[in-house]
Structure 1
Amino acid sequence: MVVASGVRIGWADVPEHVQARVESILGDRVVSAYSQRGGFSPGTADRVRTASGGRAFVKAVSPAQNERSVQLLRREALVAGALPAGIPAPRLLGWHDDGEWVALVLQDVEGRHPVTPWTAAELDAVLGTLRMLADGTTPCPMPELPAAAVSLGKDLSGWERLAADRPDDLDPWAAARLPELVALGAAGVAALAGDTVAHTDLRADNLLVGPDGAVTVVDWPWACVGPAWLDTAMLMVNVNLFGGHDVDALLTAYAVPLGADPAEVTALLAGMTGYFLDACRQPPPPGLPTVRAFQRAQGEATLRWLRTRLSS
């Protein structure tokens, strides 16, 4: 199984003036840093310790690693700083932006990523957290967030691009149904109206399970405003990828009570499938050598799931 992984730099690769700014935010000298693996970023992801025993999580990147990652870290800083109290997310302690290097200093949350393939207990804990997150952010308390249809609309139109430039290796079932899939992708965008904060990039590597079983949602650059069920439905793509669970039954148990219409969920899944199968055709971005293989794996797994939903 291809995992989410960038070729990361570490704390020692961060320029001294950026390190000094991080230490100023912390009010103490950093004496150790432990790089964290996983996630699609070539920037730092370091758990740091200070001389007095303080802890923080530091993320830093520059255009030399990946220009897009710089933009995302700036956006994450704005979102993390605006998340209301009580949301299960790391608190932003401060951030640095000198026009080249961007660094976020976040609360260091003790925990680990959920086990994959997913266990029933951890999946239940995560889905319960998403329900709590939806309840706590409806109506949306962050007016600066974009609408989900605006944020995700281009991505979910992948079937249009696949139809205009059909790849030779496109699944025959999908190739024979391109007009239907294009229409479903458009319906998926239309289904994104809502007034709830949505993370929209939920995978195991963007979640932490604490020693007490509490779940924290991390990495928020893609946050937007959409339906209460959106994160729950999108997480099922990751669960389905690793297998071992009845994802349709989970949607019925967890997404439908949040207002999900099964037809709208199917349309969303169609749009996500088109996104993955279109995006995986592109060259890998700098510092992210595995992202296209991961997108292909997600696209193929979600296509099999979509085919089942459309035939039932």
Structure 2
Amino acid sequence: MVQAAGTRIGWRDLPAPVRRQIEDIVGGPVVEAVSQAGGFSPGTADRVVTADGRRAFVKAVSPALNTESAVLARREARISAALPGHAPVPRVLGSFDDGDWVVLVLEDIEGTHPRTPWVASEIDAAMTALAELTDVPAPSGLPPVSEAMREDFGGWARVAADPPAGLDPWEADHLPALIAAADRGLARLSDGDTLVHCDIRADNMLVRPDGRVVIVDWPWAATGPAWFDRVLLALNIVVHGGDPERVISGLDRSIVTDTFAGFAGYFRDRARRPPPPSLPSVRAFQRWQADELRPWLRREL
């Protein structure tokens, strides 16, 4: 398994004025900061504790570390602030953007990521959280997921136009079918206006001590069909191990396969690019996900 990991800075790497602004939001001087693993941002991801025991989760990134990460942080701050209190998401305590640093301070959720390979109880808890999410009104200004995924789902067409060295023989022989499946998958995404997270993975969820799941990391939110996040959960289970049938039971199986094809093409196409600054493992992670989806596509297409 390839772990998702960026080269992170930590709390002490932030400029002192930025730390002071964060402490004003949290409500006191920070005496402990524990960096969290996972994800691809090179910025901070710290659980912090103040002298009087207040807790928060701090995300901060500078365009100097990675331009796209700063863009995503601004988007996440805007979307997170617009999500209602009853949604299964962390509460926003505050945020700011001084041009050099984009900072989001969130409720610190007591919990851990779902185990991988996925276990049945945590699959069911994730499904409950996704069902709750379908009742949350989408914030204004979100793009349709079909628009957000249009370029991504063209990955197999780009692979066919310029095949990478070492392309798997089955994929090379079935490029027309993979392109057609991804095209069908994209067309299906235009049906619906439900709030969708668009990046449902184990490392974007936290399981509370009582078993409930909270969904974190919101920069990719969009509107689309209610089944979309559910299929992404199934994709993550296929990649990491577990029982995807627990998630997709009752769905049109061709929807699942066509969506998987779209993402597999995205992963295969992106994996051949050079890694972006401060994100050395992202290409290996994408390549691994494409490899793990291949058995499903071979069986179902």
TM-score, structure 1 normalization: 0.93
C-alpha separation in 2, matches of 1:162 and 1:280: 11
Query: Which amino acid in structure 1 is aligned with residue 201 of structure 2?
Result: R
- CA positional deviation for 1:191: 0.7
Query: Which amino acid in structure 1 is aligned with residue 266 of structure 2?
Result: Y
> What residue in structure 2 maps to residue 207 of structure 1?
205
- CA positional deviation for 1:172: 1.5
Q: Which runs of 5+ in 2 are unaligned?
A: none
> What residue in structure 2 maps to residue 191 of structure 1?
188
Q: Deviations over 1:213-257 (max 9, x none)?
A: 111000000000011110110121211112242x2x22432xx3x
Between the aligned residues of both structures, percent identity stands at 53
Q: Deviations over 1:89-142 (max 9, x none)?
A: 0111111111111110001110001111111111111112112212x12xx432
Equivalent residue in structure 2 for 1:234, among 211, 232, 235:
232
What is the DSSP-based 3-state SS (H/G/I as helix, E as strand, rest coil) of the residue aligned with 1:142?
A: coil
Q: Deviations over 1:48-81 (max 9, x none)?
A: 1112211110000112221111011000001100
Q: 1:1-312 counterparts in 2 under 5 A? A: 1-134=1-134, 136-137=135-136, 140-192=137-189, 193-245=191-243, 247=244, 249-253=245-249, 256=250, 260-310=251-301
- CA positional deviation for 1:194: 0.9
C-alpha separation in 2, matches of 1:65 and 1:155: 24
Q: Is the Cα–Cα contact under 8 Å of residues 238 and 292 in structure 2 kept in the other structure?
A: yes
Query: Which amino acid in structure 2 is aligned with residue 250 of structure 1?
Result: R
Q: Is the Cα–Cα contact under 8 Å of residues 230 and 248 in structure 2 kept in the other structure?
A: no
- CA positional deviation for 1:284: 1.0
What is the DSSP-based 3-state SS (H/G/I as helix, E as strand, rest coil) of the residue aligned with 2:44?
A: coil
- CA positional deviation for 1:163: 0.9
Query: Which amino acid in structure 2 is aligned with residue 25 of structure 1?
Result: I
Q: Is the Cα–Cα contact under 8 Å of residues 203 and 238 in structure 1 kept in the other structure?
A: yes
C-alpha separation in 2, matches of 1:264 and 1:242: 20
RMSD: 1.3
C-alpha separation in 2, matches of 1:23 and 1:31: 10
What is the DSSP-based 3-state SS (H/G/I as helix, E as strand, rest coil) of the residue aligned with 1:57?
A: strand
Q: Which runs of 5+ in 1 are unaligned?
A: none
What is the DSSP-based 3-state SS (H/G/I as helix, E as strand, rest coil) of the residue aligned with 1:282?
A: coil
C-alpha separation in 2, matches of 1:229 and 1:283: 33
- CA positional deviation for 1:25: 1.6
C-alpha separation in 1, matches of 2:129 and 2:146: 24
Query: Which amino acid in structure 1 is aligned with residue 222 of structure 2?
Result: C
Q: Is the Cα–Cα contact under 8 Å of residues 5 and 282 in structure 2 kept in the other structure?
A: yes
Q: Is the Cα–Cα contact under 8 Å of residues 117 and 244 in structure 1 kept in the other structure?
A: yes
Large movers: runs of 4+ above 3 Å: none
- CA positional deviation for 1:275: 0.4
